């Protein structure tokens, strides 16, 4: 859920959608929420049914969903572009997709009052690469150095830890990609690159094998070291060091976020992850993996154990510990709230028994079950029947986000009070079979994400960074 791939991909994509209620003249201006879709910076679109605007609009906001350039059209570096910009004495730009997002926010500032929206009350939110974009815009000097802010708070759903691609990596990938398109000569110019058909650049997967395409994409991250993201250490580093906008932030992840890592071509089982991060083929405790990460599967096969450990490592090393560290750091600058989403639609559980997969929370937080009900893996035309309990969880999750957009504080008339997450006070809203606030969430986390294991998780995470890059 939350993905989707327009076919064919096209550079003519810079449109946005404005959802607004019918309003009488003179009515008060409404809060604005701007959604950035996920999709690893390579797929997705703002118009998908999962992002339908009616539920939020009926509550009382203006919803804007945006598109931005993806893949090599959105995140790209090449020696020819470097040469051109030096000749013209222009700033370095590699993150064209992030510039598109900034342009959309500027459009909102100029125009949203005509739709009944308040340009002085804008909440930016997104999931996966959309959440990474929210953090990038918190960190970008093109946004946070402005006298008048483009947005006033943010929500980041399922942010991952992987570092941005370096200039050296991005240049090598751009060169290889252009070579596959017949523009790989050492004297190729920027003008010649621009003569290439955008559709050819964006629709290569059906023409070449994964092995041929290996080393041509910057997904699922942006490029560090340009004018948009000048911190060469990346966005996560900017947050951990407080070099970001001091704006309120909600951040969290799901109970099976690691599912998305296991879907990456070439990293399709937990066993591969476990072997890669430990160097050991056997499922035995090692210094790199917390001991209680090994499940009690005495009656199962060793491969089952390795797969399960890999899944848990992917979830926590990439997502759970990342959101914990980001929330802890940002709480020193601005009000910060953390959540953990652990609810799966009742009739969906038989086919996705490990928890809430990456992206499956979006239909709940946007309350769009009526427009995009979940479906079993591999069966997109067989949605499950949504229950009354499912709808209740969606209404509650959506209410917290809505109230955050209206007042700057997430709250609910029916759910528990959601306290801020602060350094030394790890308070997390857990949205599951019941919704509750857990203190010291990381220490109570059932599968071993305890404070004393933080060093181990960081070691695992760094090894996974190397796998992805």
Q: How confident is the model at residue 372 (pLDDT cuts 50, 70, 90)?
A: very high
pLDDT in tens, 119-168: 999 999 999 999 999 999 999 999 999 999 999 999 999 999 888 999 99
* Sign of the C-alpha dihedral computed for residues 374, 64, 432 and 274 taken in this order: positive
Q: What is the pLDDT of residue 452?
A: 47
pLDDT at 423: 80
The continuous run of DSSP H or E covering 64 comes out as strand 62-66
360 contacts 374 by C-beta, under 8 angstroms: yes
Q: Mean pLDDT score of the chain, rounded to an integer? A: 87
C-beta of residue 444 within 8 angstroms of C-beta of residue 450: no
Q: Are strands 117-127 and 62-66 parallel, antiparallel or unpaired?
A: unpaired
CA-based R_g, the chain, Å: 22
pLDDT at 264 over 90: no
Does 189 reside within a domain?
A: yes
Q: What is the pLDDT of residues 191-249, one digit of tens each?
A: 999 999 888 888 776 777 878 888 888 889 999 999 999 999 999 999 999 999 999 99
* Two structure tokens written together for 257: 């976020």
Paired sense of beta strands 435-439 and 427-431, if any = antiparallel
DSSP tally for the chain: helices H, then strands E: 19, 9
Inside any domain, residue 11? no
Total tally of structural domains belonging to the chain: 1
Residue 289 domain-assigned (yes or no): no
CA pseudo-torsion sign 90, 95, 96, 99: negative
Q: What is the pLDDT, as a whole number, of residue 267? A: 61
Evaluate if residue 338 carries a pLDDT over 90. Answer: yes
Domain containing 385 — which CATH number?
A: 3.40.50.1820
9-32 average pLDDT score? 90
List the single range of 84-98, 195-209, 389-403 with lowest mean pLDDT: 195-209
Q: Tell me: pLDDT of 469 over 80.
A: no
pLDDT at 98 over 70: yes
> What are the residues facing 377 on neighbouring strands?
none
State residue 114's pLDDT score.
94
Residues 464/317, Cβ–Cβ less than 8 Å: yes
pLDDT above 70 covers what percent of the chain? 83
What is residue 311's predicted lDDT score, i.e. its pLDDT? 80
Question: Which token pair is 259?
Answer: 């599912």
pLDDT at 293 over 70: no
Whether 98 is in a domain gets the answer yes
Does residue 349 register a pLDDT over 60? yes
pLDDT band at 442 (very low <50, low <70, confident <90, very high): confident
Q: Kindly state whether residue 171 falls inside one of the protein's structural domains.
A: yes
In a domain, 328, yes or no: no
Query: Residue 141: which domain range?
Result: 16-260+336-440
**Which residues are annotated as catalytic?**
128
Residue 270 lies in a domain: no
Tell me whether residue 329 is in a domain. no
Overall pTM > 0.85: yes
Predicted local confidence at residue 5, as pLDDT: 58
């Amino acid at each position: 859920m939350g993905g989707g791939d327009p076919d064919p991909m096209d550079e003519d994509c810079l449109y946005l959608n404005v959802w607004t209620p019918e309003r009488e003249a003179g009515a008060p201006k409404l809060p604005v929420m701007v959604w950035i879709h996920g999709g690893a910076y390579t797929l997705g679109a703002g118009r998908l049914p999962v992002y339908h605007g009616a539920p939020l609009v009926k509550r009382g906001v203006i919803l804007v969903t945006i598109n931005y350039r993806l893949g090599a059209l959105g995140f790209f570096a090449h020696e020819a572009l470097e040469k051109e910009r030096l000749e013209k004495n222009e700033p370095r730009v590699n993150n064209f997709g992030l510039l598109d997002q900034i342009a959309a926010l500027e459009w909102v500032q100029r125009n949203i009052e005509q739709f009944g929206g308040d340009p002085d009350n804008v909440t930016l939110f997104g999931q996966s690469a959309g959440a990474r974009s929210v953090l990038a815009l918190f960190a970008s000097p093109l946004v946070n150095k402005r006298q008048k802010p483009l947005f006033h708070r943010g929500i980041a759903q399922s942010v991952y830890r992987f570092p941005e691609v370096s200039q050296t990596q991005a240049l090598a990938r751009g060169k290889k990609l252009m070579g596959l398109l017949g523009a790989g000569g050492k004297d190729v110019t920027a003008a010649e690159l621009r003569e290439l058909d955008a559709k050819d650049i964006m629709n290569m997967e059906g023409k070449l094998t994964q092995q041929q395409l290996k080393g041509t994409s910057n997904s699922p991250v942006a490029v560090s070291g340009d004018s948009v993201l000048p911190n060469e250490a990346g966005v996560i580093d900017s947050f951990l060091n407080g070099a970001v906008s001091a704006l309120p932030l909600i951040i969290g992840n799901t109970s099976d976020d690691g599912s998305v890592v296991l879907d990456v071509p070439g990293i399709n089982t937990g066993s591969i992850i476990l072997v890669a991060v430990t160097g050991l083929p056997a499922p035995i405790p090692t210094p790199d993996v917390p001991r209680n990460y090994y499940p009690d599967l005495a009656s199962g096969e060793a491969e089952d154990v390795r797969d399960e450990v890999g899944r848990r490592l992917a979830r926590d090393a990439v997502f759970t510990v990342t959101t914990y560290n980001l929330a802890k750091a940002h709480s020193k600058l601005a009000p910060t709230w953390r959540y953990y989403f652990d609810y799966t639609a009742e009739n969906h559980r038989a086919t996705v028994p490990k928890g809430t997969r990456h992206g499956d929370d979006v239909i709940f937080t946007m309350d769009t079950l009526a427009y995009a009900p979940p479906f079993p893996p591999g069966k997109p035309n067989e949605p499950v029947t949504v229950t009354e309990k499912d709808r209740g969880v969606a209404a509650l999750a959506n209410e917290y986000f809505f109230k955050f957009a209206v007042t700057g504080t997430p709250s609910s008339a029916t759910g528990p009070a959601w306290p801020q997450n602060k350094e030394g006070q790890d308070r997390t809203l857990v949205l599951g079979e019941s919704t509750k606030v857990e203190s010291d969430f990381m220490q109570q986390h059932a599968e071993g994400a305890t404070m004393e294991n933080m060093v181990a998780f960081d070691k695992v995470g760094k090894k996974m960074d190397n796998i992805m890059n």
